[in-house]
Amino acid sequence: MVALCGGTLEGFSFFPCLSDPHGRSNFCLKLALVMLHLTYVALLFAFDKEFIQKTNQHAWYTAAYLLLLVATLAQYFITSGSSPGYVIDAMRAINETDASGNRATSTSTQPASRKNGSVVITIDRKQLEKNLLGGTTSWEKLVMDMYAPGTSVGSVTCTYCNVMQPPRAKHCHDCDKCVLQFDHHCVWLGTCVGQGNHCRFWWYICSETALSLWTGTLYILYLKSHIPKPWWSYAVLILLLAGLSICLLFLLLLLLFHSYLILTNQTTYELVRRRRILYLRNIPERIFPFSKGACRNLYDFCCARSSMYRMEPLPTAQELEEKLRPYTCSDVLSCRCCC
């Protein structure tokens, strides 16, 4: 029997669980975002007769605009449905490929939430390490090797999930999971932005910015050609243009901010909460400990995404000393800041 909310038939889910307040909120937010995009485009066609004439004469122009609209909405849903990369999934993947072949699974009456297409795992927080690791030390050894010698297991263990966090991971209270290379929890997407979907998030911001800029330009051109007419005849368009201008300013700042984070290999959480992160407290703020140079950072972000569970160890003391070294003319010629 198929349930009306979250019903399944032979393991396939047909509807989001709208009885869940969180799921209902995400569904309403996505619906409102789609309707907002369609409203801007519909009013443009309804008011601007010249735009319709241009469509008849130059169909490619309108086709390109509508294609950008569809691509932006598609990128939004792809990003919101993607996994940011959860620590629990990485731990399972590593233990499943371990030479010992230990594939024990954990059971509990407290299931982890199923979101963003991630692996569904039920967790017993008190017995998680014992059941999941099954006596092997592959994950523990891997994580501890990423930290400085002398680091205790308790200092890198999440107090909520009871899992060992590699560097740059953080527990998200909204998702109730630890996220690899945690950036932030995006309310508009309804999911976290992390290692697995940060690149998709940047492309979504880029396409949304381009669409907003193009739409705003079309609105301005229409209002400019109808200046002699009373302004209250187009009050709705003026209000929409004002709201679009605010959104465009926010999107431009967000795009520039995340572009800076990408080039320096940082996350929003690391930049904002640097003094609260244990392994970053003693590192000068002008030093980016995980940066490999702008070009290499950009390549790793865009191209080197073969594994969702790629983790970075903390830099050694020698590497930090090299980053602290002042730049010289020879460093500029050798592109030290880029490579």
Q: Following DSSP, what letter does each residue of 226-286 receive, concatenated? A: TTTS-GGGGHHHHHHHHHHHHHHHHHHHHHHHHHHHHHHT--HHHHHSGGGSGGGTTS-TT
Residue type, 217: T
Helix (H, G, I), strand (E, B) or coil at 292: coil
Task: Report whether 58 contacts 171 (CB < 8 A).
Answer: no
Taking only Cα atoms into account, the Rg of the chain, rounded to an integer number of angstroms, comes to 24
Of 198, 135, 141, 190, give the one whose Cα is nearest residue 168.
Answer: 198
State residue 55's pLDDT score. Answer: 72
Residues with pLDDT less than 50, the chain: 1-14, 16, 99-100, 102-136, 306
State residue 45's pLDDT score. Answer: 82
Give every CB contact of residue 241 below 8 A, 6+ residues apart in sequence.
216, 219, 220, 223
Task: Report whether 184 contacts 192 (CB < 8 A).
Answer: yes
Largest CA distance in the chain: 79
State residue 213's pLDDT score. Answer: 96
Which contacts qualify for 24-30: CB closer than 8 Å, 24 or more apart?
A: 25/190, 26/80, 26/190, 29/187, 29/188, 29/190, 30/76, 30/77, 30/80, 30/190
Of 78, 67, 77, 82, give the one whose Cα is nearest residue 31.
Answer: 77
| Distances in whole angstroms, Cα of residue 12 to Cα of each of 3, 18, 114, 189 | 12, 16, 13, 23
State residue 330's pLDDT score. Answer: 66
State residue 107's pLDDT score. Answer: 39
The Cα–Cα gap between 222 and 30 comes to 29
Instruction: Please give the helix or strand (H or E) that residue 193 lies within, else none.
Output: strand 191-193
Give every CB contact of residue 52 below 8 A, 6+ residues apart in sequence.
45
Of 144, 141, 142, 124, give the one whose Cα is nearest residue 132.
Answer: 124
Taking the whole predicted model, whether its pTM rises above 0.85 is answered as no
DSSP per residue over 317-338, as a string?
HHHHHHHHSPP-HHHHHTTTTT
The Cα–Cα gap between 94 and 113 comes to 21
The Cα–Cα gap between 234 and 252 comes to 27
Burial (CB < 10 A; 0-12, 13-18, 19+), residue 204, is: buried
Q: Is 175 a catalytic residue?
A: no
The Cα–Cα gap between 53 and 159 comes to 62
State residue 20's pLDDT score. Answer: 60
State residue 27's pLDDT score. Answer: 84
Task: Choose the catalytic residue: 161, 172, 178, 186.
Answer: 186
State residue 103's pLDDT score. Answer: 40
